[in-house]
Amino acid sequence: MNDATIEAQLQAIQRKLDDISEELAVARKQRQEMQELKEDLTIIAKDMFNTAVEELEDVAPFIRTGDFLHLVKKILRNTNNITGAISKLESALDFIEDARPVGKELFNDALEKLDEFDRKGYFKFFEASLEIVDNVVTHFTVEDVRLLADNIVTILETVKNLTQPEMLQALNNGLNVYQNLDPRNVPEYTVLKAFRELHTPEMRRGIGFIISFLKNVTVEQTQAA
């Protein structure tokens, strides 16, 4: 064996020794890190244990040793129920996840509708309506409201009768006549001329209407009494 071969073998052995040294250094570093981690976890576990002991001291008077065993047995007996509840919860979460796009769309539609109401003035109208309610509350007493409740049927019947087409037509005719009259340019009537007017067909029908109206009002009042 010549010197070159021996030199090559020595270099190969040296490289292997270097690799082994590196591996040992890495292993030593890992052991050191694990030791440090173990020490840190030991400290944390000790702190957690001490904290748990301190916290449990507050509830210790209310807990008996058998309570834990009873709780474990109860959990084991209701394993199927707990599993079913978890399955339902998972189904509910899946449903919520599936319904999220629909809910988002509904929320956007609601925002658009609210914006439309705002542009049309619904909210301002509602705000003004609150002032009406405030004025009603301010100017009327509780007794007035009770009287209104007692007579609401009569009031609604009156409003119903007033909104009938023939009644609205009669009121509209009366308003038209009043608008066409000029109080500053009303013709003057003497007693003789007034008596003459009483004999016209229009006045006779008018007097008949007034008499019939007053007569029927009296009859209604008599029947109501």
**For the segment 173-217, what is each residue's pLDDT rounded down to a tens digit?**
878 877 777 777 777 778 788 788 778 888 888 888 888 878 877
Of 43, 63, 83, the residue that ends a domain is 63
Distance CA 49, CA 212 (A): 102
Distance CA 24, CA 27 (A): 5
- Do 57 and 12 lie in a common domain? yes
Contact 162, 168 (CB under 8 A): yes
Containing structural domain, residue 10: 1-63
- Do 9 and 51 lie in a common domain? yes
Contact 69, 76 (CB under 8 A): no
The tally of domains found in the chain comes to 3
The dihedral over CA atoms of 214, 215, 218, 223, expressed in degrees to the nearest 10, equals -140
Q: Tell me the whole-structure pTM to 2 decimals.
A: 0.32
- Do 175 and 199 lie in a common domain? no
- pLDDT of res. 59: 66
Contact 207, 198 (CB under 8 A): yes
- Do 166 and 195 lie in a common domain? no
77, part of any domain: no
Cα 204 to Cα 177, 181, 217, distances in angstroms:
18, 21, 20
